[in-house]
Amino acid sequence: MAGKKEEANIKAYSQNFTTMTPGPFAKKMRTCVLFQIIRFIIINLKMLVVVSKSH
């Protein structure tokens, strides 16, 4: 099978055919600890801004 594993769930002519799907790099980054530590800091800072704007 020549197709890519991560695209296998998209079904022709079905309601999910129009969506986007992550490739292996995007998936890898989700669990890459170093990258996620950076994201953790950024998301926390953004959330703190949202919290402070909300009070």
Alpha-carbon gap, residue 48 to 31, rounded angstroms: 23
Question: Smallest distance, Å, CB 47 to other proteins?
Answer: 5
Cβ 39 to other proteins, closest distance in Å? 4
Q: For residues 2 and 33, which CB has a smaller minimum distance to other proteins in the complex? A: 33
Q: Rule CB under 8 A: which residues touch other proteins?
A: 6, 9-10, 15-16, 18-22, 29-31, 33, 35-37, 39-40, 43-44, 46-55
Closest CA to 27 of 9, 43, 14: 9
Following DSSP, what letter does each residue of 8-50 receive, concatenated?
TT--TTSTTTTS----HHHHHHHH-HHHHHHHHHHHHHHHHHH
Q: How far is the CB of 8 from other proteins (least distance, A)?
A: 9
